[in-house]
Amino acid sequence: MEELIKLISPKYKALEEMPYRQGVIGIITNNRDQFLLVQMVTYGEGQWRFPGGGVDEGETHQQALLRELKEELDTDKFEIIKESTQLVEYDWPLNVVIDQIKNKNRFFRGQQQKQFLVNFVGETEDIKPDPSELRAIKWVDYNDLPSHFVFDNQWGVAEKTIKELLQVI
């Protein structure tokens, strides 16, 4: 914590004063009602998430999502259907905050992400994951999602958002 305080002052007096990085998440479905999951290169073997990333200055959230999907999956065969009212907000571990400051000059305490329902309108072979960012991708049935979401409250947030976006009762 002492190292963090040195890094953030005089800009901030405490971690809690730092802003959240704005981000986007695409809950992507295909024509078989499956969901696209990605495994980041920094993730462990059983750790998955929906694709997405950060919002650059001057971008709308929708523009950022389509850019991120193109960068990570090398295709633009996506159609944004709906924006969720659910906002995902979480703090990063201290080592991540420190790493972001030291290596990227980014002064954020965590992320605040908007989520979107996205339809994949291409063919499976159109998706070509960027190996510098993604270790693997997979299409998963709804009932199999909970076993892929291992981070704290990851499935709870995803379930609530999917139900809202798909208007499942």
| Domains, in order of start, for the chain | 2-8+16-166 (3.90.79.10)
Query: pTM for this one?
Result: 0.90
Nearest CA to 124 among 30, 3, 28?
30
pLDDT at 168 over 70: no
Beta strand spans in the chain (E)? 20-29, 35-40, 52-54, 78-91, 110-120, 134-140
Task: For residue 82, give the 3-state DSSP assignment.
Answer: strand
**Per-residue pLDDT averaged across 109-132, rounded?**
97
- CA dist 166 and 78 (Å) reads 17
Q: What is the pLDDT of residue 169?
A: 40
pLDDT at 99 over 90: yes
Q: Residue 115: is its pLDDT beyond 60? A: yes
20 pLDDT band (50/70/90 cuts)? Answer: very high
